[in-house]
Amino acid sequence: MSAKLWGGRFQSGLDPDAAKFSISLDFDKVLYPYDIKLNIAHSRALQKVGVLSAEEYALLHEGLTQLRIDMDADLDGLLENDEDIHSAIERILTERLGDLGKKMHAGKSRNDQIITDVRMLLKDEIVEIRGAIRDLIRSLVTSAESHIEWLFPGLTHFQPGQPVLLSHHLMAYVDQLMRDDLRFEAVYQETDVCPLGSGAMAGNTYGLDRDMVAAELGFSRITTNSMDGVSDRDFMLSFCSAAAICSTHLSRLAEEMVLWSSPLVGFVKIGDAFTTGSSIMPQKKNPDIAELIRGKTGRVTGNLVNLLQLIKALPLTYNRDLQEDKPALFDTIDTVKTSLRCFAKMIPTLTFQRDAIDRALQTGYITATELADYLVRKGVPFREAHEITGKIVLHAETHGVQLTEIGLNELQNFHSDISEDIYKVLSVADSIEAKNGVGGTATIQVQSQIKRVQEIFGW
């Protein structure tokens, strides 16, 4: 085990199993670019208050800059059995620069150092995730435009409900993803706070220019309480919550891809790049990527619960339990980002099957609600109109016909005010175009939804 940063008051080292148990390098090594950047900014602050000379700062800056190049080229080759990435960087720098490497840690603790690193990483990852969300939104909007007037069965309880446009259905997910984008934007603002300078918990005695350091590290502001600064994980909870909600939206869309692509439904075919075969059944084309996105949602949600349980009973300030926050956070980042990217690429491979969709529109008496609304407009109270319509549906079901195939005389037996114009009302296409209020499924309304999104993103 490499030399510890804390061993002075100990007479013996950690038990080997305890040492192995406590090492975090395997997962926190991804923070090395941020930790190096942090050390450069902190060294500059130390030079400003006279702890480092200008020459010492220049040597540290040069050494850290070269270390970043070397770690970019061969990170694992430079690491040993270090406790964490902070220890590794300080060890290597001390090996290269001698005692000067040991001066770099003055005025900071691993407590404020690690959380600053994580905040910097998370800010960058949120930018990438928001980009991936927008890529998926764009794929859905493009598909909606391509199918702008396709009729489609709208479902409730996975039963035929009312007809809608396929484009309207796709744009519903766009609205969900736009809320996700706003949530991640809010998380970015919450994360954009620099705790460096908080020390272990009580601040530092060097008079470091925290605002200067924060600006150099790309933060818009600094924390205002050192105890909260080192122990706050709310921004991680907010991120994992936003990620869990986003993953849930992806899971719902994935579920529809799985259902729609089954030959039993046949609404869509997913491109080969996002499906796999069976090792025993040669006819199979499985929607595995959609299924994996759906499955990984539980993992993302579990990470949120993991963090909540991790933090729920911790007293102020830093506790070693918090080492376990990063595996959950990093896994959530990777899972959500990959799921979004896969989905954004999958959508353009979809081939919707008009014949199967049209057949589905002829099942389940999907314009029955329009018939009830028609009677309401004739002055019939809605509850009575609902009952009359139910009886007409039962009649159609008993005789094995569609509502549009029932003769006018038969319909008038159920209510005398029904007239020839009922057949236009029962038309799937006409019933869709009748939903012309804001947010409705009429073509002009869906076109308006698409235009609104395109204007928001400048497409």
Residue 57 maps to which CATH number?
A: 1.10.275.10
The domain that contains 376 carries what CATH number?
1.10.40.30
pLDDT in tens, 377-403: 999 999 999 999 999 999 999 999 999
Task: Give the number of other CB atoms < 10 A from CB of residue 50.
Answer: 9
The pLDDT of 145-165, averaged and rounded, is 97
Q: Give yes or no: residues 12 and 91 share one domain.
A: yes
Q: Give yes or no: residues 276 and 143 share one domain.
A: yes
Query: Which amino acid does the sequence have at 119?
Result: R
pLDDT in tens, 7-62: 556 566 767 777 777 889 999 999 999 999 999 999 999 999 999 999 999 999 99
Q: Give yes or no: residues 305 and 199 share one domain.
A: yes
> What is the spatial distance between Cα 432 and Cα 267, in angstroms, rounded to a whole number?
19
Rg (alpha carbons) of the chain, rounded to whole number: 30
- Closest by CA position to 246, among listed 297, 291, 285, 290: 297
Confidence label for 172 from pLDDT (cuts 50, 70 and 90):
very high
Q: Give yes or no: residues 45 and 83 share one domain.
A: yes
Cβ contacts of residue 110 below 8 Å, gap of 6+?
Answer: 5, 84, 86
306 occurs within a structural domain: yes
- Closest by CA position to 126, among listed 68, 184, 209: 184
Among 358, 384, 411, give the residue marking a domain's end.
358
186 occurs within a structural domain: yes
> What is the spatial distance between Cα 295 and Cα 317, in angstroms, rounded to a whole number?
36
- Provide the pLDDT for residue 100: 97
1 occurs within a structural domain: no
Q: Which 3 state secondary structure label does DSSP give 352?
A: strand
Q: Give yes or no: residues 60 and 71 share one domain.
A: yes
Is the per-residue pLDDT at 5 higher than 70?
Answer: no
Catalytic residues: 157, 278
- Provide the pLDDT for residue 1: 47
Among 358, 374, 390, give the residue marking a domain's end.
358
- Provide the pLDDT for residue 11: 65
Q: Are 78 and 70 spatial neighbours (Cβ–Cβ below 8 Å)? A: yes
**Which residues sit opposite 151 in a β-bridge?**
165
354 occurs within a structural domain: yes
Is the per-residue pLDDT at 110 higher than 60?
Answer: yes
Q: Give yes or no: residues 425 and 367 share one domain.
A: yes
Is the per-residue pLDDT at 6 higher than 60?
Answer: no
Q: Give yes or no: residues 163 and 292 share one domain.
A: yes
Domain count for the chain, please give it.
Answer: 3
CA torsion 86→92→97→98, rounded to 10°? 90
Alpha carbons within 13 angstroms on the beta-carbon side of residue 16 total 0
Q: For the chain, count helices (H), then strands (E).
A: 20, 6
Task: Give the number of other CB atoms < 10 A from CB of residue 440.
Answer: 19
Q: Give yes or no: residues 223 and 311 share one domain.
A: yes
**Which residues sit opposite 268 in a β-bridge?**
352
Orientation angle between helical segments 234-261 and 325-346, nearest 10 degrees: 30
346 occurs within a structural domain: yes
> What is the spatial distance between Cα 367 and Cα 434, in angstroms, rounded to a whole number?
12
Query: What's the mean per-residue pLDDT of the chain?
Result: 95
Q: Are 403 and 368 spatial neighbours (Cβ–Cβ below 8 Å)? A: yes
**How, if at all, do strands 268-269 and 221-222 pair?**
unpaired
Among 358, 385, 411, give the residue marking a domain's end.
358
- Closest by CA position to 59, among listed 108, 106, 100: 100
Residue 192 token pair: 């954009």
The pLDDT of 342-363, averaged and rounded, is 97
CA torsion 414→420→425→426, rounded to 10°? 60
Q: Give yes or no: residues 332 and 366 share one domain.
A: no
2 occurs within a structural domain: no
154 occurs within a structural domain: yes
Q: Give yes or no: residues 140 and 276 share one domain.
A: yes
Alpha helices in 232-324 (DSSP H): 234-261, 288-311
The pLDDT of 159-186, averaged and rounded, is 98
Confidence label for 318 from pLDDT (cuts 50, 70 and 90):
very high
414 occurs within a structural domain: yes
Q: Give yes or no: residues 220 and 144 share one domain.
A: yes
Q: How far is CA 425 from the centre of its chain?
A: 41
- Closest by CA position to 63, among listed 96, 103, 25, 37: 96
- Closest by CA position to 24, among listed 95, 103, 118: 118
Alpha carbons within 13 angstroms on the beta-carbon side of residue 211 total 0
Residue 262 token pair: 């089954």
Q: Lowest-pLDDT range, 160-164, 280-284, 373-377?
A: 280-284
The domain that contains 170 carries what CATH number?
1.20.200.10
Structural domain range at position 387: 360-457
Is the per-residue pLDDT at 190 higher than 50?
Answer: yes
Q: Give yes or no: residues 353 and 274 share one domain.
A: yes
- Provide the pLDDT for residue 214: 98
- Provide the pLDDT for residue 282: 86
> What is the spatial distance between Cα 4 and Cα 309, in angstroms, rounded to a whole number?
30
CA distances from 339 to 136, 186, 239, 250, 294 (A): 10, 21, 16, 8, 9
- Provide the pLDDT for residue 257: 98
> What is the spatial distance between Cα 370 and Cα 424, in angstroms, rounded to a whole number?
10
Cβ contacts of residue 458 below 8 Å, gap of 6+?
Answer: none
